[in-house]
Amino acid sequence: MIDLQTLRQVLGARPNGHDKDAEMIIHGVSTDTRTIRRGDCFFAVIGPNFDGHNFVVGALEKGAACVVVQKQVALPSELQCRALWVEDTVKSLGRLAAWYRGRLKAKVVAITGSAGKTTTRHIIHHILSRRFNCHQATGSFNNHIGLPLTILSARDEHDVLVLELGTNHPGEIGYLTRIAAPDIAMVLNAAPAHLEGFGSIDNIIREKLSIQEGLAGGGLFILNGDQPELVAYAKTLNRPFITFGVSPTCDIRAQNLQTDGDAGQLTIEGRTMTIPLPGRANLLNVLAAWAICKAVGVSLPDFAEALSSLQPVVMRMSVESVGPIKIINDCYNANPASMANALDYLATVSQKEQRRAVFVAGCMAELGSASAKLHYELGQRAAQAGIGCVAAAGAFASDIIAGAVGAGFDASACQTFTTTQALCDNLHNFIQPADIILVKGSRAAGMEKAVERLRSLFGSANGRHPALCENKK
């Protein structure tokens, strides 16, 4: 909670009220009038497709204690005193979060990386919650709006706050880490992603490693020791760090990594533990989580025991059986690294179960001038993974298919569609009973529509599967 006068001072807002309002208490912060609560402060943030100033009156009508604005907004005279004027509402939201972070007693853990951030955060939260009062983001609140909102939703009773920091342009991680002021900062990995904003992998490495800029004095810096280029650049920062990975030189090391597709095993400090998550990439996510949990004071036996009840994150390598088919739902996002991980998992499960593997691919966003090349390489990787059928949708679908065919894949086992909807409308023409289907693409591709269509085609209460009937026509 914060009173209106203090809020004005923290934000540097221009006075717009009367002294009698100074002691008004603000109970929370919101940027969305659909979920705003009475007593909240509403920040009218401006995005590429929305302007919060259009909802200021609605926020006050729903009981907002005050609104923070950067543009002139027509308000009834009796509500004028509830508006705080600032130059930039998004930066003001970050300023408030940084101020609030300085008053939290919780230990703050911050994670960044090109792939695996949300899953690793989910693992850490699951483990630490058994011993501490632990708070984390809702969904993937990891940008200049989501991260401040996550910090501002923490409470005095929380012992640990687990954050993820995302970026699509230079300088964003540095900005976010200075708000978060983490006690522990981790770089999971660095791989081609958001190249439209960064231009090169070297720039991505620099951006990810800038997470150490916000570390408090004596804070712990952890990074992936299996990426030599990451370690080499970290050595130039004059900041002590420790590494995790499978390489012999890593400070925190896993050995004997094995996966049968749906689950896996690894050995840490002589203890072999079972990981109830799909794919090799998740074994490395677990190792990263151990590096942080160990630093917070969790014992290895407690860590291993807590893993047994771990559940996957929704739409991230989530596996479900629908009638005669199996769906690997990994629709939340995609870049070359996460696509490679998902294809490796698809190939492993397909070989284990002796079922045809189908790759239903949406395009990867924000890859800039490298888009065509990286989608072509994705097609090549699909062919090398032994996939039985490739269906691609979107602006770079033809590049995916060209890469697959160029690597020797059978062109007759390829499907190309201009839109995700067109792909959905044709799934019944090429999906076969007993297929294992990986559905993956960037968030903008909306590949969850394909998952829903597969569920409606192959799932039924009485055991009849409409898709099987249609394929016989």
Residue extents of the structural domains in the chain: 2-88, 104-307, 318-471
Q: What is the mean pLDDT of residues 433-458?
A: 92
In 3D space, the residue among 13, 14, 63, 16 whose CA is nearest the CA of residue 37 turns out to be 63
pLDDT of residue 17: 56
What whole-number distance in Å separates Cα of residue 270 and Cα of residue 266? Answer: 10
pLDDT of residue 451: 94
Of 73-77, 146-150, 439-443, 469-473, highest mean pLDDT: 146-150
pLDDT of residue 467: 40
pLDDT in tens, 92-130: 999 999 999 999 999 999 999 988 888 899 999 999 999
Determine contact, residues 273/283, Cβ cutoff 8 Å: no
Which residues lie closer than 8 Å to 446 by C-beta, 6 or more apart? 362, 420
In 3D space, the residue among 86, 108, 77 whose CA is nearest the CA of residue 14 turns out to be 86
pLDDT at 140 over 90: no
Determine contact, residues 112/211, Cβ cutoff 8 Å: yes
Q: Measured in whole angstroms, how far is the alpha carbon of residue 136 from the centre of its chain?
A: 12
Return the CATH architecture of domain 2-88.
Answer: 3-Layer(aba) Sandwich (3.40)
In 3D space, the residue among 315, 47, 444, 70 whose CA is nearest the CA of residue 56 turns out to be 70
Query: Which tokens hold the place of 316?
Result: 């991230």
Report residue 277: phi and psi, to 5°. -130, 150
What whole-number distance in Å separates Cα of residue 424 and Cα of residue 394? Answer: 12
Q: What is the mean pLDDT of residues 177-206?
A: 84
Determine contact, residues 65/41, Cβ cutoff 8 Å: yes
pLDDT of residue 469: 36
Q: What is the mean pLDDT of residues 252-279?
A: 90
What pairs with residue 265 in β-bridges? 258, 274
What whole-number distance in Å separates Cα of residue 421 and Cα of residue 169? Answer: 30
pLDDT at 21 over 70: no
In 3D space, the residue among 463, 442, 302 whose CA is nearest the CA of residue 371 turns out to be 442
Determine contact, residues 306/126, Cβ cutoff 8 Å: yes
Which of 38-42, 64-68, 166-170 comes out lowest in average pLDDT?
166-170
Report the side by side order of strands in the sheet with 134-136.
134-136, 160-164, 107-112, 184-187, 220-224, 242-245, 252-259, 264-268, 271-275
pLDDT of residue 212: 95
Query: Which tokens hold the place of 184?
Result: 């522990």
pLDDT at 300 over 70: yes
Return the CATH architecture of domain 318-471.
Answer: Alpha-Beta Complex (3.90)
Determine contact, residues 249/225, Cβ cutoff 8 Å: yes
Which residues lie closer than 8 Å to 195 by C-beta, 6 or more apart? 204, 366, 367, 368, 369, 370, 374
Would you place residue 407 in the very low, low, confident or very high pLDDT band (cuts 50, 70, 90)? very high
What pairs with residue 14 in β-bridges? 85
Return the CATH architecture of domain 104-307.
Answer: 3-Layer(aba) Sandwich (3.40)
Q: What is the mean pLDDT of residues 42-66?
A: 92
What whole-number distance in Å separates Cα of residue 464 and Cα of residue 329? Answer: 23
Amino acid letter, residue 89: T
In 3D space, the residue among 11, 75, 74 whose CA is nearest the CA of residue 41 turns out to be 11
Q: What is the mean pLDDT of residues 74-89?
A: 87
Query: Which tokens hold the place of 32?
Result: 């969305």
pTM of the model: 0.80
pLDDT in tens, 142-177: 899 999 999 999 999 999 999 999 887 788 999 999
What whole-number distance in Å separates Cα of residue 340 and Cα of residue 280? Answer: 11
Radius of gyration of the chain (CA): 24
